[in-house]
A and B are shown apart, each in its own frame.
Chain A
Amino acid sequence: MSAADIPGATGLEPPGSPALRRLRALKAESWIMLAGILAIFAALLAFLALPLYALLKKSVEDDKGAFVGLINFQEYFASAGLVTSIGNSLTIAFLTMVISCTLAFTFAYGLTRTCMPFKRMFRALATIPILAPSLLPAISLIYLFGNQGVIKGLLFGESIYGPIGIMIAMVFYIFPHVMMIMVTALSTTDARLYEAADALGTRPMRVFFTITIPGAIYGIVSAMVVAFTLTITDFGVPKVIGGQYNVLATDIYKQVVGQQNFSMGAVVGLVLLIPAVFSFLIDRHVQKKQVALLSARAVPFHPKPHKMRDTGLLIFCILMSVFLIGILGMAAYASFVTFWPYDLSLSLVNYDFDRVDPNGWSSFYNSLKMAGFTAVIGVTIIFLGAYMVEKGQNFPKLRGLFHMLAIVPMAVPGLVLGLAYVFFFSRPENPLSVFYSTMAILVVCTIVHFYTVSHLTMLTALKQIDKEFESVSSSLKVPFYRTMFRVHVPICLPAISEVMMYLFVNAMTTVSAVVFLYSPDTKLAAITVLNLDDVGDTAEAAAMSMVIVATSVTVRVAHGLLMRGMNARHSAWRQR
């Protein structure tokens, strides 16, 4: 029957645009969704995009705020000292990348491709450095190889203060990040490739170079990029052990905190942003390819025993663990020694922080408070943001834009973000300047700093949830937020707990972003470590580092217990 036969059903479009009509027909819940997206979007704009713009603007202004074009850049590149730092930074980053990737690959190979024992233990040991601020390995190295170091002789007269110290400390600090990427890369392989090679009688060396390496290549590239970026943007290590060896990260600090030269600080910040953005782009590109490789994967690989290989890698993993434990152990030991190196009796005297720093223990409580707020507020915002990106029903363009903005923090080094905050929030004409030098700005800055990884973790968890839940929910006339609370939140609890732990531990250990933003009242434990080391109270610095490590370990253990309890309680419906 044609439309004309039926009274009423003309099939004609009513006047006005369909988008407008649909907007008008939307229920209250959609407006709530829109308000939510807009709020989080505005927050990211205010606390990420606008500060970065302020940094950019500052780099073309003089200290009084007048526009001067590229003069600051000219001045920067005319200064031999500053340009040397670029070379130094690149050298250090490159060498650290090569060393840490080689070590991490070998370690990961042992964990994934051999039948050696204690794999789980090695894996757990290798993640220790994540729990400590990057200052810790540097302090520890001073005790080991410094002027009064225990095994100073091993350096054959070279000084630990400088490139050697920076590199060793950096290798310690970035090892877990690089190792975990390598493990993922080596885990995703197809056993049939190896069986085919075996059947053709291929020699092991050839198998390694024609199958193993190409199969893991994207992961390797990704690990290299991460190693490079982490090294070039880290501030704590070169600050403590760099000596006279200048790098970009310490230059920023010196320009801004030392010489109060904000414009020049902005220029160095932008220079530091270049490698970070560049590696970020490479990493994104490579990860897309990795996904394609992964989906083609079929039969999981199970290593067969091979005595020589297994023994060799076991020895390597033991040595690597000794290195990691040794660094941590040295700092722990030094923190208990009464007066290095003259009175080696053990005591808690170095933990009496208030003796050497008026903000001693209070800085630790500040850190706990800051980390707690960061974890709780951060996970709430990040969950809601990820939920809207992944499960939102309307406003696709806005959601896409928000997702893009949420990825940006990954490309912004902490130092640069902190500096950008200084420029943006310190201006009295900015209404948001009331935040400046409060606890709130530290919390906000830390959430933004670690936003991307948390956002992606949450997104992954949400993606695994049936995408039809929203459709079912709206067909049953149940508003989306009710289903979100009753279904998505419970299912995502493991990811929520993991993101909270991640945010908490990072908030405890981070230095770079907050170093420009704290005030005496809001000083953090990791900053206290920096200050103590600066004035020569190295033992107290080691002790404070250990307090941070202990806190992180506690949180990590609590997370583990929570997960176990949750899995037991929800065993009826939770898989795994």
Chain B
Amino acid sequence: MARKSKTKSPPKRAFLEIRDVSKKFGDFTALTDITLDIVEGELICFLGPSGCGKTTLLRAIAGLDYQTTGRIYQKGRDISDAPPADRDFGIVFQSYALFPNMTVAKNIAYGLVNRRMARKAVADRVQELLELVGLPGSDDKFPAALSGGQQQRVALARALATSPGMLLLDEPLSALDAKVREQLRHELKDLQRSLGITTVMVTHDQEEALSMADRIVVMSDGRIAQVGTPMEIYRNPVNAYVADFIGSMNFLRGRMGAGGQVKVGRLKIALPEGAAKQFAKGDDVVVCIRPEDVAVRNLERFKAKKFTMTINDVEFLGSFCRVTLDVDGDKDAELVADFSINLMRDFNLVRGGKLDVALPGRRLQVFRDEGQGGEES
């Protein structure tokens, strides 16, 4: 599952190679020097906030909008200047883009009919695809009679009908209700795995990316911020931007003090040795820790210092509680922690109460502080 493209480069060429691709709209640069390999059979997600260039990159891969500079190779063939019809992909959009005046069967068969297949063969293929996406018997319905989730399945079947070598999905689930979205996530992933089709999916939803992708490409302002498996990106974000974008994260802004310690407000946080070495005394840094990594039980285990904190707020979120803590009214060192209901009960945590916590060194991420809001490019 965890493919590392950075370390073991196989001698054979990747399925899709993107080399120094840039895209300009007039004076505006939408993509800057994107270089990326996509491995055959994987599901790779382009993840980033709206407007960061995900769709632009996808459309360059499809040939729907050409890149301004840079090359793209599919299976070693230079497709950089080829029109979409000369490339080999199926595409699905957020808007489904089903032809409203055609039945489901006609929609799915749209790309087949053009290939001079026998009528019987087309009908069989349509049935096969309807089964595949879980909509048998919907042949004669019009898209307007289907729910959003069903429409997106039809769109998927249409894209897969011609057995393309690659599937491109642009926010395929974003227009759907939360419930349907979650269900389709699984179905889509299962389908992709069983067909083994190389798939690029664009999304701004980090949860979606984390749960579906084999690898994630985090993008920011037209550049790639990080490429890696969901676990790598969640556990080892390369900068504060990625750390902020993926999952919840505490950002504690402080200054390097003596002995590998960071001073955050009145707190002194000891950094693990490796991290401490990267910074000199007096550097502005951000110390990051995920809410679920704030430790309460068995504090003796950690070499890290204990801090006594006040519980400012408790937010009940169903299976766990989100607790806001601070050190004696010190707003600079406010900390959000996720605690299980079990833990809440055991420690009898209520608003205004006190609590000892530790910030385990190996769970800390430390970055140079380069401005507000965890922004960094």
Contacts and interface: CB of A to CB of B under 8 A. Distances in A.
B91 A475 contact: yes
B20 interface: yes
Interface string B113-148: 011000000000000000000000000001111000
A26 B66 CA distance: 12
B101 A477 contact: no
B86 A25 contact: yes
Nearest to A468: B97
Contacts of A477: 85, 111, 114-115, 162
Contacts of A573: 100-101, 142-144
B93 interface: yes
B95 interface: yes
Nearest to B140: A572
A472 B85 contact: no
Nearest to A18: B81
A575 B100 CA distance: 10
B85 A13 contact: no
Given A466-B95, A475-B159, A476-B110, A7 B13 contact: yes
Contacts of B142: 572-573
A301 interface: no
B157 to A, nearest CB: 12
Contacts of A14: 78
Contacts of A26: 83
B76 interface: yes
A242 B20 CA distance: 73
A393 B37 CA distance: 28
Nearest to B73: A9
B14 to A, nearest CB: 7
A572 B84 contact: no
A490 B100 CA distance: 10
B99 interface: yes
B69 A471 contact: no
B144 A11 contact: no
B37 A1 contact: yes
Given A1-B9, A8-B13, A27-B86, A18 B100 contact: no
A12 B82 contact: no
A478 B110 contact: yes
Contacts of B89: 475
B108 to A, nearest CB: 11
A382 B71 CA distance: 39
A311 to B, nearest CB: 43
Interface string A103-147: 000000000000000000000000000000000000000000000
B204 interface: no
A1 B5 contact: yes
A192 interface: no
Contact of B62 (A7, A10, A29, A471): A471
A8 B100 contact: no
Contacts of B145: 572
Report the contact-size class of chain A (Cβ under 8 Å from the partner): 35 or more
A491 interface: yes
A504 B82 CA distance: 44
A27 B85 CA distance: 8
Interface residues of B, number: 52
Contacts of B143: 573
A1 B73 contact: no
B19 interface: yes
A80 interface: no
Contact of B20 (A11, A21, A472, A491): A11
Given A7-B13, A478-B114, A27 B91 contact: no
Contacts of B162: 476-477
B301 interface: no
B70 to A, nearest CB: 7
A525 B5 CA distance: 78
A572 B144 contact: yes
B222 interface: no
B90 interface: yes
B93 A472 contact: yes
A14 B71 CA distance: 9
Given A468-B95, A475-B84, A476-B114, A13 B158 contact: no
B64 interface: yes
Nearest to A3: B19
Nearest to B89: A475
Nearest to B17: A9
A18 B159 CA distance: 29
B37 A466 contact: no
Most chain-B Cβ atoms within 10 A of its Cβ — which of A29, A393, A572?
Answer: A572
B83 A30 contact: yes
Contacts of A9: 13, 17, 19, 71, 73, 76
Contacts of B9: 1, 5-6
Given A11-B71, A475-B62, A572-B142, A1 B6 contact: yes
B114 A482 contact: yes
A568 to B, nearest CB: 15
A466 B66 CA distance: 21
A474 B100 contact: no
B114 A472 contact: no
Contacts of B250: none
A576 to B, nearest CB: 11
A206 interface: no
Contacts of A30: 83
Nearest to B106: A486
Nearest to B168: A475
A490 B76 CA distance: 41
A6 B66 contact: no
B248 interface: no
Interface string A470-498: 01111111100010001100110000000
A570 interface: yes
A469 interface: yes
Given A6-B13, A8-B13, A476-B162, A490 B101 contact: yes
Interface string B188-230: 0000000000000000000000000000000000000000000
B83 A468 contact: no
Given A9-B73, A11-B71, A573-B142, A478 B111 contact: yes
Contact of A11 (B70, B102, B114, B115): B70
Contacts of A304: none
B150 interface: no
A482 to B, nearest CB: 7
A64 interface: no
Contacts of B86: 25, 27
Interface of A: 1, 3, 5-14, 18, 21-22, 25-27, 29-30, 393, 466, 468-469, 471-478, 482, 486-487, 490-491, 570, 572-575
Q: Which 5 A-B pairs have the closest CB atoms?
A: A476-B111, A11-B19, A1-B9, A468-B97, A474-B84
15 contacts: A8-B76, A9-B17, A11-B70, A25-B83, A27-B86, A468-B95, A469-B97, A469-B99, A471-B59, A473-B110, A474-B64, A475-B164, A476-B111, A478-B111, A572-B144
Given A1-B37, A466-B97, A476-B110, 11 more contacts: A3-B20, A13-B71, A18-B69, A475-B84, A475-B111, A475-B159, A487-B99, A570-B101, A572-B145, A573-B100, A573-B101
